[in-house]
A = this chain, B = another copy of it.
């Protein structure tokens, strides 16, 4: 196939966990575009050196190489304009803010909850890199950072308040159909689901029903991915 996506994988190559890669996987499904997923690990920098940088997702679409999930979304809307991921100029701007909000609020809260499970599921060759880079970022050991899961859960549920209010009145953040903002936030939940059995949401939370809808999209694409059932 001439369309390939480099995706972050754990010890098991089928365990694809990057929240950024999941945005792209859902975006490709949204467009109805098939692709071959290629497992990649943090330390495989040389494997994607051709992309001019060292992070995934990296999409190869025929002759083109695109890195960065946001750039890939823009690229897909430009080259495959049907069923837009971002359906207007304002949608692009507000979703761009939503992306940063998610990365600055939802990701850190989830990290606190899933970090130790995530570390356990990493490929052995990635563990030293991950420990060193994250401990530098957090200013503490992984074990210290991941020690207070309840605090992470409180932070997560609070961070989600603004989205929760939207999902009381509509099925998706994008409206009646999912938009790229949905994929951004869902990518974070799927990241957690693939790496950790931690329960994040209560069934009576509107976020829970939304996550179920997202898991059902595209013939259960995300639900069928290797991970932990959200409910035991």
- A interface residues with partner B (beta carbon < 8 Å): 86-101, 104-105, 161-163, 165-166, 170, 172-177, 179-181
Q: Are B97 and A86 in contact (CB under 8 A)?
A: no
- The dominant DSSP class at the A interface is helix
For A181, give its contact among B90, B161, B162 (CB under 8 Å): B90
For A89, give its contact among B98, B104, B176 (CB under 8 Å): B176
Q: Are B88 and A173 in contact (CB under 8 A)?
A: no
Q: Are B161 and A93 in contact (CB under 8 A)?
A: no
A151 CB to nearest B CB, Å: 18
Q: Are B93 and A170 in contact (CB under 8 A)?
A: yes
Q: Which residue of B lies closest to A89 (CB)?
A: B175
- What chain B residues lie within 8 Å of A87 (beta carbons)? 88-91
Q: Are A94 and B165 in contact (CB under 8 A)?
A: no
> Complex: how many Å from CA A112 to CA B89?
34
* CB-CB under 8 A for A174 and B98, given A104-B162, A161-B104: no
* CB-CB under 8 A for A90 and B162, given A98-B97, A173-B97: no
Q: Are A181 and B89 in contact (CB under 8 A)?
A: no
Q: Are A94 and B161 in contact (CB under 8 A)?
A: no
A223 CB to nearest B CB, Å: 23
- 9 pairs, A vs B, C-beta closer than 8 Å: A89-B175, A91-B91, A91-B94, A93-B181, A94-B173, A94-B179, A96-B166, A97-B166, A101-B162
A77 CB to nearest B CB, Å: 12
